[in-house]
């Protein structure tokens, strides 16, 4: 496509070069923009691969997000416009948010939560989730949010990894007109979580639920005893703000630990650069707070800036296909941040639904989570943005804490290219390298690495420094390995090409192939399983399973159902496979490793490539034959 909005890039590059020439003092200047109780002594202490930012400084995340606005006109500003799929609404000002956070912090203290304790949050998209995060941070405790679409077993695993004593949750979630029985899921999870002593329940419906005497407490009842003010705990800059589990290449999710000081500074800076937020902004990010995008860019960054956010509980296409456009029109949303998966779904349904609404309030459009195809980018630009709004395609990860490679209209216009995340943000030293760690030539695919620490960088993996080093710092010496493939073009623009490791992006959700495989082999009748991601026109990637049954079992319908059931039970519906194939053999290397590359090639109908390391070539023919059979059946 033609470059849209092609402005001179010089100003941006000057700022970028200035930042990178003296990283530490650059970030110290950014740090001065958020409130500290005590100034830091040292900008960065880098003991590879562990970074500590603003060392000696002290602050509190809830103070920085709400108390600070009590001293300005923003105290009467709307913090949150909340709405659900049925049109129920709540409008919460900064003063109201401040009050609720203080009161719930007091309640948490009353039930014994202390500085450094981990509190697990398993909540739908309701304001109490934001309040719980800030209340936890207020007393120096650490939140570990588990996305409320995860199953009871996934929840139990994460609770057990943290050893948390307190769980905050709700009776029900609401999705597509149905109640999701969260309390039942929780009761089943808590059978195997010996550390949980108290469960705080937000009761949103009149439905009866099981209450465990002495363990289960009602959120609104706890608040009746609460104080209106709770002193914010002054914590050191590298005190953990939260743990968030994410999928990696083994069956066990990784607990990503983020700091308070560095993380907040990074969120504050990147939010301004990328979204050019101002006091007039009405900002809507459609992610779920259960993922990192929601942590950073629904809660912390917008509230640090005193922005007004829209928070929506519900599916994008329920009760009708213009639900989102209706909300943009209703609130006059100016900044809209969503996922390529959602856009592809809307694109398929045509522009009819969009044309019914006035979207002229929009100024900046964002996307995150997976590569966006140029045609979808063009569609977004034309039909949602009215050819007026820059699209910020933001590349980042749970581990990076905030956006890393993205256009930054807040720093002056950057020429956009459909499908490219453009340039690294100031202070981010990104490179594309080959297997030996040397920069690749222009236009050549390689691994994306980050060469120097940045304040949003994860502090480590929860109680697993060895795995932290192994996963991120071993493939290439002294640089952070992202696990992504990328290309850099002749203008230094980055083009992200998906994961280079065994993790998938299904509808933007990060899922490990090993996690799904372990759910499949948990069935007594399964001998072996291999999971691969295949391109999907809407979800970006879909899950396909190849499995070998134990002797004596036949691939009958209930076998398939049992496999799907066990995936839903162990992970959640988000990992439901598109297809399951039963095979006699799997392609393996001589050392016994399953060659997923070959399975992937077969499913995509591309040449299989080098098979000299294969243990038994017959299995390739077998799988290829089977795949052809299944597909001709589907086509027929
Ligand atoms: C992918 C989400 C292409 C990438 C914030 C990364 C992207 C993984 C983009 C992290 C983008 C994220 N273009 N790919 N703009 N943004 N990704 O931890 O593979 O859920 O490594 O964080 O998403 O996923 P995570």
pLDDT in tens, 469-481: 999 999 999 999 9
98 and 33 within one domain? yes
When pLDDT is cut at 50, 70 and 90, the band that residue 8 belongs to is low
Where a domain ends, among 462, 487, 512?
487
Q: Name the pairing type of β-strands 142-145 and 240-246.
A: parallel
For 35, the token pair is 């409130």
446 and 528 within one domain? no
pLDDT in tens, 383-399: 999 999 999 999 999 99
* Number of compact structural domains in the chain: 2
* Residue among 499, 501, 502, 505 to mutate when testing ligand 1 (max atoms within 8 A of CB): 505
Alpha helices in 122-211 (DSSP H): 127-138, 152-162, 182-189
DSSP, collapsed to helix, strand or coil, labels residue 119 as strand
**Residue 14 domain-assigned (yes or no):** yes
For 181, the token pair is 């029985």
Q: How many angstroms separate the CA atoms of 127 and 311, rounded?
A: 8
Ligand 1 atom with minimal separation from the 372 CA: 13
pLDDT in tens, 552-574: 999 888 999 999 999 999 999 99
Q: How many angstroms separate the CA atoms of 289 and 173, rounded?
A: 14
523 and 432 within one domain? no
Q: How many angstroms separate the CA atoms of 482 and 421, rounded?
A: 15
When pLDDT is cut at 50, 70 and 90, the band that residue 591 belongs to is confident
Residue 590: which domain range? 504-635
User: With 90 as the cut, is the pLDDT of residue 21 above it?
Assistant: yes
When pLDDT is cut at 50, 70 and 90, the band that residue 6 belongs to is very low
pLDDT in tens, 196-210: 999 999 999 999 999
460 and 314 within one domain? yes
**Residue 341 domain-assigned (yes or no):** yes
**Residue 225 domain-assigned (yes or no):** yes
**Residue 249 domain-assigned (yes or no):** yes
**What phi, psi does 241 have (nearest 5°)?**
-85, -40
| Ligand 1 centroid – CA 263 distance (Å) | 18
**What phi, psi does 434 have (nearest 5°)?**
-90, -175
Return the pLDDT at 193. Answer: 98
Nearest CA to ligand 1 atom 5: 397
Strand residues in 189-269 grouped as ranges (E): 198-202, 216-218, 235-236, 240-246, 254-259
Return the pLDDT at 601. Answer: 82
**What phi, psi does 584 have (nearest 5°)?**
-95, -30
Longest dimension (CA), the chain: 73
**Residue 5 domain-assigned (yes or no):** no
When pLDDT is cut at 50, 70 and 90, the band that residue 633 belongs to is low
Residue 249 burial class via C-beta count within 10 angstroms: exposed 0-12, middle 13-18, buried 19 and up = middle
585 and 480 within one domain? no
Work out the average pLDDT over 451-466: 98
**What phi, psi does 596 have (nearest 5°)?**
-65, -30
A 10 A CB-CB count for 628 gives 12
Where a domain ends, among 444, 462, 487?
487
Ligand 1 atom with minimal separation from the 496 CA: 3
324 and 464 within one domain? yes
Nearest CA to ligand 1 atom 14: 370
Work out the average pLDDT over 237-263: 95
**What phi, psi does 121 have (nearest 5°)?**
-115, 125
Place of tokens 């905050």: 168
Return the pLDDT at 631. Answer: 67
Four-residue CA torsion sign, 7, 10, 13, 15:
negative
> Tell me, what CATH number does 206's domain have?
3.40.50.12780
Ligand 1 atom with minimal separation from the 398 CA: 18
Q: How many angstroms separate the CA atoms of 383 and 205, rounded?
A: 38
Return the pLDDT at 2. Answer: 44
| Ligand 1 centroid – CA 512 distance (Å) | 14
pLDDT in tens, 323-369: 999 999 999 999 999 999 999 999 999 999 999 999 999 999 999 99
Q: How many angstroms separate the CA atoms of 204 and 458, rounded?
A: 35
pLDDT in tens, 300-318: 999 999 999 999 999 999 9
294 and 151 within one domain? yes
Q: Name the pairing type of β-strands 118-122 and 166-170.
A: parallel
Ligand 1 in reach of 398 Cβ (< 6 A): yes
Return the pLDDT at 167. Answer: 98
Nearest CA to ligand 1 atom 23: 369
Ligand 1 in reach of 119 Cβ (< 6 A): no
Work out the average pLDDT over 11-37: 96
User: With 50 as the cut, is the pLDDT of residue 585 above it?
Assistant: yes
DSSP, collapsed to helix, strand or coil, labels residue 259 as strand
| Ligand 1 centroid – CA 243 distance (Å) | 18
The mean pLDDT value of the chain amounts to 94
pLDDT in tens, 66-122: 999 999 999 999 999 999 999 999 999 999 999 999 999 999 999 999 999 999 999
> Tell me, what CATH number does 628's domain have?
3.30.300.30
Q: Which of 441-450, 477-486, 598-607 has the lowest mean pLDDT?
A: 598-607
When pLDDT is cut at 50, 70 and 90, the band that residue 5 belongs to is very low
Q: Residue 512: beta bridge partners?
A: 503
Element (H, E) at 308: strand 308-313
What is the dihedral angle through the alpha carbons of 50, 51, 55, 59, rounded to the nearest 10 degrees? -100
521 and 472 within one domain? no
| Ligand 1 centroid – CA 538 distance (Å) | 16
DSSP, collapsed to helix, strand or coil, labels residue 241 as strand
pTM for this one? 0.96
Which one is predicted more confidently, 610 or 271?
Answer: 271
Q: How many angstroms separate the CA atoms of 423 and 22, rounded?
A: 19
Work out the average pLDDT over 10-27: 94
A 10 A CB-CB count for 606 gives 9
466 and 605 within one domain? no
Q: How many angstroms separate the CA atoms of 386 and 360, rounded?
A: 8
Q: In what order do the strands lie in the sheet with 166-170?
A: 216-218, 198-202, 166-170, 118-122, 142-145, 240-246, 254-259, 460-461
Residues near 631 by beta carbon (within 8 Å), at least 6 away in sequence: none
Q: How many angstroms separate the CA atoms of 388 and 413, rounded?
A: 13
214 and 135 within one domain? yes
**Residue 31 domain-assigned (yes or no):** yes
When pLDDT is cut at 50, 70 and 90, the band that residue 598 belongs to is confident
Nearest CA to ligand 1 atom 25: 397
159 and 83 within one domain? yes
Tell me if 362 sits within 8 A of 386, measured CB to CB: yes
User: With 80 as the cut, is the pLDDT of residue 634 above it?
Assistant: no
**Residue 497 domain-assigned (yes or no):** no
521 and 468 within one domain? no
Nearest CA to ligand 1 atom 3: 371
The DSSP letter of residue 256 is E
Where a domain ends, among 487, 522, 541?
487
**Residue 495 domain-assigned (yes or no):** no
For 280, the token pair is 């007039």
For 460, the token pair is 């480590």
């Amino acid at each position: 496509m033609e470059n849209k909005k092609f402005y001179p890039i010089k100003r941006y590059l000057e700022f970028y070069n200035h930042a990178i020439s003296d990283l530490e003092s650059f970030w110290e200047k950014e740090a001065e923009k958020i409130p500290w109780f005590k100034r830091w002594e040292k900008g960065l202490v880098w003991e590879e691969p562990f970074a500590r930012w603003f060392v000696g400084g002290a602050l509190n995340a809830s103070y920085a997000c709400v108390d600070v606005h009590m001293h300005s006109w923003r105290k009467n500003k709307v913090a949150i416009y909340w709405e659900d799929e049925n049109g129920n609404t709540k409008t919460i000002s900064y003063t109201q948010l401040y009050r609720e956070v203080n009161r719930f912090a007091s309640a948490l203290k009353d039930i014994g939560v202390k500085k450094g304790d981990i509190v697990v949050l398993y909540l739908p998209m309701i304001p109490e989730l934001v309040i719980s995060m800030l209340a936890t941070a207020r007393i120096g405790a650490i939140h570990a949010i588990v996305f409320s679409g995860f199953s009871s077993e996934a929840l139990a695993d994460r609770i057990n990894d943290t050893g948390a004593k307190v769980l905050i949750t709700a009776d029900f979630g609401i999705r597509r007109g149905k109640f999701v029985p969260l309390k039942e899921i929780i009761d089943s999870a808590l059978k195997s979580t010996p550390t949980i002593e108290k469960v705080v329940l937000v009761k949103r419906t009149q439905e009866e639920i099981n209450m465990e005497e002495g363990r289960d407490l009602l959120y609104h009842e706890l608040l009746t005893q609460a104080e209106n003010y709770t002193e914010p705990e002054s914590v050191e800059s590298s005190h953990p703000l939260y743990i968030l589990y994410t999928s990696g290449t083994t069956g066990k999710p990784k607990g990503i630990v983020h700091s308070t000081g560095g993380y907040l500074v990074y969120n504050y800076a990147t939010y301004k650069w990328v979204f050019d937020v101002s006091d007039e902004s009405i900002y809507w990010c459609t992610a779920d707070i259960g993922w990192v995008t929601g942590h950073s860019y629904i809660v912390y960054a917008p509230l640090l800036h005193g922005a007004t956010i829209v928070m929506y509980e519900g599916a994008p296409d329920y009760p009708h296909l213009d639900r989102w456009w209706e909300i943009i029109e209703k609130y006059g949303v100016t900044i809209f941040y969503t996922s390529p998966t959602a856009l592809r779904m809307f694109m398929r349904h045509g522009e009819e639904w969009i044309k019914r609404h006035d979207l002229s309030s929009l100024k900046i459009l964002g996307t995150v989570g997976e590569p966006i195809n140029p045609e979808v980018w063009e569609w977004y630009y034309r039909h949602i943005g009215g050819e007026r709004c820059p699209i910020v395609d933001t590349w980042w990860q749970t581990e990076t804490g905030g956006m890393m490679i993205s256009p930054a209209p807040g720093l002056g216009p950057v020429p956009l290219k459909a499908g490219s995340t453009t340039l690294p943000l100031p202070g981010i030293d990104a490179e594309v390298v080959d297997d030996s760690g040397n920069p690749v030539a222009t236009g050549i695919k390689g691994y994306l690495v980050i060469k120097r620490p940045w304040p949003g960088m994860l502090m480590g993996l929860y109680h697993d420094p060895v795995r932290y080093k192994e996963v991120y710092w071993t493939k290439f010496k002294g640089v952070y390995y992202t696990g992504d493939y990328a290309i850099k073009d002749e203008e230094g623009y980055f083009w992200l090409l998906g994961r280079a490791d065994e993790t998938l992006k299904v509808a933007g959700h990060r899922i490990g192939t090993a996690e799904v495989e372990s759910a499949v082999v948990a069935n007594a009748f399964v001998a072996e399983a291999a999971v691969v991601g295949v391109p999907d026109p809407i979800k970006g990637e879909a899950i396909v399973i190849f499995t070998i049954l134990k002797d004596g079992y036949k691939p009958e319908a209930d076998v398939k159902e049992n496999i799907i059931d066990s995936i839903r039970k162990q992970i959640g519906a988000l990992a439901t496979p598109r297809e399951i194939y039963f095979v006699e053999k799997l392609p393996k290397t001589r050392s016994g490793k399953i060659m997923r590359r070959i399975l992937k090639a077969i499913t995509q109908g591309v040449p299989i490539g080098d098979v000299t390391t294969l243990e038994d070539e017959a299995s390739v023919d077998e799988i290829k034959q089977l795949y052809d059979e299944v597909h001709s059946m589907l086509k027929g």
